[in-house]
Amino acid sequence: MKNTVVVGAQFGDEGKAKITDLLAQQADFITRFQGGSNAGHTVVVDGKKYAFHLIPSGILYENKICMIGAGCVIKPDDLEKEIGAIVSMGVSPEHFKKCLRISPLAHITMKYHSDIDGYSENALKENKIGTTKKGIGPTYTDKYARSGIRVEDLFNKDTLNNKLDIILNKKNKELEFVYNLIPHSKEEILKECERYKDILVPYVDFNWQENLREIKKNKSVLFEGAQGVMLDVDYGTYPYVTSSSPTSGGAAIGASMGAMAINRVVGVFKAYMTRVGEGAFITELNDETGENLRRIGGEYGVTTGRPRRCGWFDMVSARYSVLVGGISEIALTKLDVLDSFDEIKVAIAYKNKLTGEITKNYPTNVFTHKNYEPVYETFPGWKQDITKCKTYDQLPKNAKDYLCALEKMLEVNITIISVGPDREQTIINSAAEGDDPR
């Protein structure tokens, strides 16, 4: 398999994990390159449902190495819980010790980061971002302010001591006077770090440079993104975004292998759209159709349980995602969710309600989005169950027409079509690629 990046191409929850799990069959090494336990990734194998947050979605295979990369942030308590949950489903603790690796360069989400995330959200009131409150923003803030704690620091007492003297001096003032939270003693934080070290020690890859050299030489790599392009800190609906870079550019940085290691970028789109948290969503449907999408698609957050906002496929943002996300082909998921709809809409442009102007370029200032309404093209539904379709040819004509129309507008081939949550419910559209794109 060519070295492949899986990128969420909408607002997250596109079904990336299912596609990562599928493509992982052909990869030797799977690496998460950004984000933390804000992600909620579902993989269904033989009817058994696994939820991942930080662990790469390829972990269910024997003999594949899964890495939590340098670009990630790790809350060790969450990771411990996540491993525990998968172990309780029958995967052995030894499997994790053998197959899971953690970059020593990843940053640690401390308890004060989650506290600050929660406090900031409450303080922002109606302007809140709607974060997962997992401490993601505050951890990345400290990383870029050069006052973060990295995994490797937990294993060096002197470094940790020195760092904490500097960090806590400022952090405690911030906690007390900005956030009205309780400051922490150094002893307390050292104890927390000791516990984190014990949780992480079986997995930390101190030999990562040698290992990656070998992998780059003769192994195939799958880069797993979390969140989505429209939540990207630079290109998403800023400030209603996450604090990392889920695009293929983020993969080049966060997986420690650089841009030349990437041969192929699979953008994952849902056949409609969802969003959790606040921020503009131009094709959102606050009506019965939106409720039907939520009910049929089971659109509730894996991490927070929040109902997802639902709407029609937005071609304006999709074309933008293809552009800035560096997407070279598409996996389209949840096509089956549209099985019962009489008609299916796609926003092919936006109309500015103030000026009447029609645009196909994505307006990046999210505060102007209230001025836009979608211009829809309507497609007839296929009104039949497609969950058992195994090949492209078995799909009903109207479904094929819908896919062709999307493909034409996106100017990128749809090579994978997902018609159900299970690994098996996947159509490889070899006509679009020339051969099996896995």
Helices (H), 326-388: none
Instruction: Choose from ligand IMO, ligand GDP, Mg ion, none: what does 242 bind? Cβ within 5-8 Å by kind.
Output: ligand IMO
**Which partner in Mg ion, ligand GDP, ligand IMO, none is near 44 (CB below 5 to 8 A by kind)?**
ligand GDP
Q: Is 226 in the site for ligand IMO (CB under 6 A)?
A: yes
Residue 132 interacting partner from Mg ion, ligand IMO, ligand GDP, none (CB closer than 5 to 8 Å by kind): ligand IMO
Q: Tokens representing 165?
A: 């003297």
Touching ligand IMO, residues 126-155 (CB under 6 A): 129-132, 134, 136-137
8 binds ligand IMO (CB under 6 A): yes
Q: How far is the CB of 132 from ligand GDP (least distance, A)?
A: 12
CB of 260 to ligand IMO, least distance (A): 26
- 276 sits near ligand GDP (criterion: CB under 6 A): no
Is residue 242 a contact point for ligand IMO (CB under 6 A)?
yes
Q: 184 an active-site residue?
A: no
Task: Confirm if 104 and 205 have CB atoms less than 8 A apart.
Answer: yes
User: Which SS3 state, helix, strand or coil, does residue 148 take?
Assistant: coil
Would you tell me how many other CB atoms lie within 10 Å of the CB of residue 88? 8
248 binds, among ligand GDP, Mg ion, ligand IMO, none (CB under 5 to 8 A by kind): none
- Provide the minimum distance between the beta carbon of 273 and ligand GDP in the complex, in angstroms, as a whole number: 12
Rounded to whole angstroms, the Cα distance separating 163 from 167 reads 6
Two structure tokens written together for 202: 């079986």
Report DSSP state, residue 230.
Answer: G
- Is the CB of 130 or the CB of 202 nearer to ligand IMO? 130
Please answer whether residues 189 and 169 qualify as being in contact, where contact means their C-beta atoms are separated by less than 8 angstroms: no
Does residue 9 belong to the site contacting ligand IMO (CB under 6 A)?
Answer: no
Structure-token pair, residue 233: 């800190």
Give Cβ neighbours of residue 295 (< 8 Å, ≥ 6 apart): none
Contacts of 86 (CB under 8 A, 6+ apart): 50, 52, 55, 59, 96
342 assigned to active site? no
76 DSSP β-pair partners: none
Is position 273 an interface residue for ligand IMO (rule: CB under 6 A)? no
In the chain, the largest separation of any two C-alpha atoms, in whole Å, equals 66
What x/- string results for residues 5 through 44 when contact with ligand GDP is judged by CB under 6 A? ---x---xxxxxxx---------------------xxx-x
Number of helices followed by number of strands (H, E) in the chain: 13, 19
Q: How far from the centroid of its chain's Cα atoms is residue 263's Cα?
A: 20
Q: Assess 336 for contact with ligand GDP (CB under 6 A).
A: yes
Name the 3-class secondary structure at 397: helix
Given Mg ion, ligand GDP, ligand IMO, none, residue 227, with its beta carbon under 5 to 8 Å by kind, binds ligand IMO
Interacting residues with ligand GDP between 277 and 316 (CB under 6 A) = 298, 302
Q: If contact means CB under 5 to 8 A according to the sort of partner, which of ligand IMO, ligand GDP, Mg ion, none does residue 15 touch?
A: ligand GDP
DSSP letter, residue 63: T
Q: How far is the CB of 227 from Mg ion (least distance, A)?
A: 8
The footprint of Mg ion (CB under 5 A) covers 13, 40, 302
Active site residues: 13, 41
